[in-house]
Amino acid sequence: MSNNSKWPAGHRNLLAIIILLTIAAIAVTYLRLRPRWIEYTETRDEKASIEAKLIKSEWPNDPERLEAILNAFNKQLGNKDKGLKVETAQIIAQATSMFKEKIENEYETIPDFIQRASQTEYKDQYDRLETYLQGKNIILDTSVFGMNELTSEPFKYQMLLKLWTTQAIIDCAINNKLRVTSKPLPGSRGRRASSITVLPMKSYYLNDNDSTAYVLEFPIQLELTGSMPNFSAFVDSLFTEGRFLPMVNMELIAQAPHGNKLPNSDKEGNINYHSIVAQVVCSSFFLPQAPPQKDSTSGKKTVSERPAGI
């Protein structure tokens, strides 16, 4: 007979209860403390990793120095009266307000313009533009230009902005004595069309999850010919008060002189070509919504619509 059998029944029961409670206490402690221990080790490892990155980086570890750098950056960004924030807002306003006065005169507000622009208005303005350009010996053809009076797109205001941008760029060329070149149309028995093409619109987003574009770009491609001084004046005219039509692409070709005549050169030996051909892409920009109140640093993405005319 074992020694335990000599124990009183009450002692044996008490021992069993103590053993069970000990096991239960160990289990509860393990189940409750293990997650916290795991959390502690992960936090410790993360802290060590951050400290290692900070040591390798150029940033100081001293909180006071970091705060001083932060204050300097905030000062550089500026307040509502001056600084990079104000300058950025001014640049965006200048770049996207080219048609603001026209929109306010005809539609009062940009939201009204976006909502009220119609297919009928587009057709009327296309017909006016086509007639105006024909008077300047500029012929639009759907196969080259990419649009005609029957073109229909989901957003009518964008169609109008393409027409307005086209006329604004061509006016700059005409005012500086440049001609829009033309190209023969295949199978048209000598019929020609001016080298003007509406390129795909580009949409710029501030955040990847934004559903509405922050800025829209409307690029127009055309081929111009004329003298180099006149072309230089044309480039300057793209940036004037109330006009922002930056040249986003350019290919410049010098035309050879007629016959065996050599081009003129200056005293330093630089050749002066009287006539050049330039294929350029100029764009207007439009802000379809009010600028956000909060800064965003998540980057930018661009989305292009279906190509038109190419």
Residue 11 has pLDDT above 70, yes or no: no
Q: Percent of the chain beyond pLDDT 70? A: 80
pLDDT digits (tens, 9 = 90+) for 43-69: 888 888 887 887 777 777 777 887 887
The conformation of residue 247, written as its DSSP 8-state character, comes to E
User: For residues 148 and 180, is the Cβ–Cβ distance under 8 A?
Assistant: no
Residue with tokens 């964008």: 158
d(CA 93, CA 79): 18
Q: What proportion of the chain, given as a percentage, has pLDDT over 90? A: 39
CA distances from 86 to 78, 83, 190, 282, 300 (A): 7, 6, 55, 26, 20
More confident of the two residues 308 and 99: 99
Residue 150 is given by DSSP the state: T
The domains found in the chain, sorted by start residue, are: 98-257+271-304 (3.30.70.60)
Give 261: exposed, middle or buried? Use CB within 10 Å, 0-12, 13-18, 19+: exposed
pTM: 0.67
For residue 286, count other CB atoms closer than 10 A to its CB.
25
Element (H, E) at 40: helix 9-56
pLDDT for the residue numbered 266: 57
Q: What is the pLDDT of residue 283?
A: 95
pLDDT at position 159, please?
95
> Are 303 and 205 contacting, i.e. CB atoms less than 8 angstroms apart?
yes
Burial of 64 (0-12, 13-18, 19+ CB in 10 A): exposed
Residue 265: per-residue pLDDT: 59
Neighbours of 144 (CB within 10 A): 20
By mean pLDDT, which of 36-40, 89-93, 204-208, 243-247 is the weakest?
A: 89-93
pLDDT of residue 4: 52
Tell me: the pLDDT tens digits for 102-137?
A: 999 999 899 999 999 999 999 999 999 999 999 999
Spatial distance between the Cα atoms of 16 and 7, rounded to a whole number of angstroms: 12
pLDDT tens digits, residue range 131-183? Answer: 999 999 999 999 899 999 999 999 999 999 999 999 999 999 999 999 999 98
